[in-house]
């Protein structure tokens, strides 16, 4: 039983679904995997977050957000607050780009998934794969996603945005969003002169 935790710890992941655990344990028997998970949760080695989702005690909340809804990446307010582009407190809300709009709750957090077009969602320019655990947008990508989603959005601090990245990103969005990104680029240049 205790040896079953070692592959999970060595994986570098903090959040697992049943298939993850099955692969890490090299186990083809799903019933055995469920038994192992049951025993680990009874001994407080793992926490059951939601049906089929388990986590180590000090799990990464962003990893959980991606595990709850595959085909998503961390973006919008979550990235922009972390990088001081917006100053509002979104510490209890994790925002992600996704293939549909929905909201989920788990362990005092709200996970907001916002629909982007497939062309934008599948384009990985300026999206980082963080330790193979989740995908996260760069600051500039999150800014562009916000402009696409909300159109008339105000950013508290644009001084440190990278104009080169914004110029590369504007072409993956529709024409209206591209024009708004271009206006933002001009504002960034103006603030930095």
Task: For the chain, give every domain's residue range.
Answer: 2-55, 61-191
Cα separation, 96 vs 77, whole angstroms: 9
Percent of the chain with pLDDT over 90: 66
pTM: 0.89
Q: What pLDDT shows up at residue 34?
A: 84
Say if residue 183's pLDDT is above 90. Answer: yes
Residue 23 clears pLDDT 70, i.e. is over it: yes
Average pLDDT over residues 114-132: 94
Burial of 19 from C-beta contacts in 10 A (0-12 / 13-18 / 19+) = exposed
Name the burial class of residue 106, with classes exposed (0-12), middle (13-18) and buried (19+) by CB atoms within 10 angstroms of its CB.
Answer: middle
CATH assignment of 2-55, given 2.60.40, 1.10.260, 2.60.120, 1.10.10? 1.10.10
Candidate ranges 21-25, 107-111, 182-186; pick with highest mean pLDDT = 182-186
What 3-state class would DSSP assign to 44?
A: coil
Mean pLDDT for the stretch of residues 56-66: 93
Q: What pLDDT does 32 receive? A: 83
Longest dimension (CA), the chain: 64
């Amino acid at each position: 039983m205790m040896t079953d935790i070692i592959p999970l710890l060595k994986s570098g992941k903090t959040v697992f679904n049943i298939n993850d655990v099955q692969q890490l344990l090299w186990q083809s028997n799903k019933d055995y995997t469920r038994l192992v998970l049951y025993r680990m949760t009874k001994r407080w080695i793992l926490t059951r977050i939601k049906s089929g989702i388990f986590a180590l005690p000090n799990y990464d909340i962003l990893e959980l957000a991606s595990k709850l809804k595959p085909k998503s990446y961390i973006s919008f307010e979550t990235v922009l607050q972390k990088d001081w582009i917006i100053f509002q407190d979104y510490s209890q809300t994790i925002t992600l780009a996704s293939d549909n709009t929905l909201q989920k709750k788990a362990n005092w957090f709200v996970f907001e998934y916002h629909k982007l077009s497939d062309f934008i969602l599948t384009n990985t320019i300026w999206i980082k794969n963080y330790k193979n655990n989740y995908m996260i947008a760069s600051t500039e990508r999150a800014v562009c996603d916000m402009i696409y989603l909300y159109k008339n959005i105000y950013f508290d601090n644009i001084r440190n945005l990278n104009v080169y990245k914004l110029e590369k990103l504007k072409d993956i969005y529709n024409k209206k969003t591209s024009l708004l990104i271009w206006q933002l680029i001009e504002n960034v240049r103006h603030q930095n002169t």
